[in-house]
Structure 1
Amino acid sequence: MSKEIIPAGQSISIAVLFISGSSLFMGASGESGNISWIALLLAILLAVPLMLVYSRLHVLFPGKDLYDMLIAVFGAVLGRMLSCLYIWYALHLGSLVLRNFGEFSKTVALTATPMIAPMLVIGLLCVWVVGAGMEVLGRSSKFLLLFSLMVIVFIELLSVPKYEYHHLKPLLDSGWGLVLRDTAGSFTFPFAEIVIFLGAFNVLPAKGSARRVLLSGTLIAGMIIIVVTLRNLLVLGPDILSSLYFPSYVAVSRINIGDFLTRIEGSSAIIFVTALFIKASLCLYVTCNGVSKVFKLKSYRSVVLQMGLIMVYLSGFIYKDIMEMQYFAYHIYKVYALPFQVVIPVMLWITAEILSRRKSSKSI
């Protein structure tokens, strides 16, 4: 089977849609109210050094993905054990994304339809595109990102008459405590979730493409999330914003241009579906890639259907209701995801640097 290579432009599109993903509709962690956008800025600043660590791993291990790195640095036994942890994390994250869409459909869009139906449709679509290959996912993401940006700009322009700028005041009235708490939440969800992309580093071109992809993806997605968060805050206000499960849908539903252009929240729902489709597809690919590496299969394609159905099935019972979903996303997830996003990658990077310097000194 020929090796799949995705150009940097398509990889950036995947990274942007992956990071923005669920945050476009669920919003970022928002306990700080009218200064949640400051927490987002701080989270982006924290994410930049982490992206440099991830990109350094690509330089140290060109042409290898996360599972190859773990096995090469920590050995066959410990490396495969850590790989199994990342297989679980990718599978779990994909299930969380599908459940976000299921709860959205049940709460807002398709209230009379069983929640498993829309999740199964998206899950099977992810199975199809991952089975077709990462090159198909890359080309699809480039088109979907262009479409999403056009819709976002259009909606933002229409929302300007609804802006209430007094919602931004008073600034920092509750102190820095809530801001720092929201910074930690926004750092882990969604920015540091791009650690999943390390499981697909084998499809990136060599020579520094990872740094361009990760930094560009983080900055572009961060700008999109900040713009959407500010729009929701200016339209709805901090009190209403904190009480909603899907604030973006409600904010867009308030657009009314001369009683002619109304009820356009369906267009924003399309953006949500496209972003979560790319995010769930990448999670599925990384899961299947990890299974093929740990169990030494010839191709990841042989387990795409099985892992996709497991992902859909897991998303069906992972939460009891939407309140538990939101509590996990904003309170538990920041602790649960930190070892996968920061601790293990930093340990991998430090160990790889030590081994690389020892190898170079011996060669000298």
Structure 2
Amino acid sequence: MRIDNEKISGRRFLFTATCFTQASSLLAAFLVTVVFQDAWLVALIGGFVCLPLIWLYRELMVMFPGKNLLHILDEVYGPVAGKVLGTAYLWFFFTLASLNITDLSSLTKVTILEKTPSLVLSLTCVLVAAVAVRRGAGLVTRYSALFTITAFAIMGLSFLLVFNQLDIKNLFPMFDQPPMKYVQGVHIISTIPFGELVAMLMLNANLKITPKETTRYLFLSFFLGAFSVLVILVRDVAALGNTIDMFAVPSLMVMRLFSLGVALGRLEVLFAVVLVMLLFFKVMVLYYVAVIAAAQLLKVKEYRHLVLSMGVLMVLYGMTLYPSNIEHTESGQRIIPFLWTPFELLLPLLTLVVAKVQRRRAGAVKEA
């Protein structure tokens, strides 16, 4: 049963997936206190490591055109096991949305609206996002191109403005950390920013593209998103050096390094607005994905009735996850990557293998 009949073009899907990954550049700061000046190098390695993962997502999308992730689970594992796994993915998307809502409210409070309570910021975010979610995938993804292009423009501008503050020596020495630190760093970057693209499988039912276009747009979006994360890490490490781990949001500190007069004296506010914009877009996508997953599991034809209630639950749930940003960061470095791996790698891989075996058997039976 298809809950939302809105269709998304290939180009809009490209910008949606790119913007979704760009929004995770804030979370790449988890790497800094693990591998320090090698954070950019780990991001580069993680990008190459994740290429097979993106191919895995591509295979599932092409093998099951017009079906989202929960449809695929039902078809491959049957109605019972499929619903169990679908419920697990609902928790995954719901938790992701809650965490990103919390991150968004924290970032907004620290950079723009310091005196506004976090609860008010979170509820405001949900109420605004709910308008788009109720209208469907078309409105949720409509401004993805604008957000993506704006993010690239601000990233390029910031790089030029702090260019004279960059010291390439801060990127070295390379590989002077214990080997397990690099394994941990690659695991973090692979699961938190890049592996979360598994959420794009929930949009597969809304796409009107060919298999060839799926391959092109999915890989191009991954390249553009990963490139954004890499450039931001290179800029931040080159600018801040060995002090980078002292800041909760290194990118904002970089924006304060240059002095070009009053007109540009508060450019970090503009950069913060762009970060908030990207994170809000990611929240919208995850919010929509979680609502669609819940509607499918509950067999609700009109998913719009679930939107506001689920949004409020996301806010309340997010408030209970971590009592402080320090614990959030610690969890992002040591716990979350292991929790996310089954949802982003193991289950999709198992699903693809089982689906291929089933189709081979079905083909053998027909030939017999």
Which bracket does the TM-score occupy, shorter chain normalised? over 0.9
Q: Calculate the TM-score normalised by the size of structure 2.
A: 0.94
Give the corresponding residue for 2:284: 281
- In structure 2, the residue matched to 1:20 is 22
Q: What is the RMSD computed on CA atoms of the aligned residues?
A: 1.7
Aligned to 1:304: 307
Q: Give, in whole Å, the separation in 2 of the partners of 1:326 and 1:283.
A: 21
Maintained 8 Å contact 1:28/1:229: no
Structure-1 separation of matches of 2:161 and 2:283: 30
Equivalent position of 1:226 in the other structure: 230
Note if 1:245 corresponds to 2:248.
Answer: yes
Q: Tell me how far apart the structure 2 counterparts of residues 327 and 33 of structure 1 sit (CA, whole Å).
A: 15
**Which residue pairs with 1:117 in the alignment?**
120
Cα distance in 2 for residues equivalent to 1:174 and 1:58: 39
Please, what TM-score do these two structures have when normalized by structure 1?
A: 0.95
Deviation readout 1:227-249 (Å, 9 max, x if unpaired):
10011111111x32112211111
Secondary structure in structure 2 of the residue aligned to 1:320:
coil
Residue among 47, 62, 83 paired with 2:50: 47
**Rounded Cα–Cα distance in structure 2 between residues aligned with 1:261 and 1:304:** 40
| Equivalences for residues 51-200 of structure 1 within 5 A | 51-200=54-203
The question of whether the paired residues in 1 share the 8 Å contact of 2:40 and 2:237 is answered with: no
Give the unaligned 5+ runs of structure 2: none
How far apart are the structure 1 equivalents of 2:133 and 2:252? 29
1:270 aligns with 273
> For the residues of structure 2 that align with 1:301 and 1:363, how far apart are their CA atoms?
43
| Superposed CA offset, 1:251-287 (max 9, x none) | 1122212565322001111121111111111111111
Q: Distance in 2 between matches of 1:199 and 1:50?
A: 16
Quick check: 1:25–1:247 contact (8 Å CA) kept in 2? no
Q: Is the 8 A contact 1:252 1:264 kept in 2?
A: yes
The offset of 1:172, in angstroms, is 1.9
Structure 2 Cα separation of the partners of residues 93 and 2 of structure 1: 21
Is the 1:38–1:179 Cα contact (8 Å) retained in structure 2?
no
Percent of aligned pairs with the same amino acid: 25
SS at match of 1:86: helix
User: Which among 355, 359, 362 is matched to residue 362 of structure 2?
Assistant: 359
Displacement of 1:144 after TM fit?
A: 1.4
- CA separation in 1, counterparts of 2:72 and 2:209? 15
Shift of 1:25: 6.2
Q: Helix, strand or coil: the match of 2:91?
A: helix
Gaps of 5+ in 1: none
Query: What residue identity is the alignment partner of 1:246?
Result: V
Offset at 1:329?
1.6
User: In structure 2, what is the Cα distance between the partners aligned to 1:258 and 1:113?
Assistant: 29
The worse-fitting range, judged by mean Cα deviation, of 116-125 and 86-95 is 116-125
* CA 260–294 in structure 1, closer or farther in 2 if over 3 Å, else same: closer
Cα 1:205/1:21, change in 2 over 3 Å: same
Q: Aligned residue for 1:216? A: 220
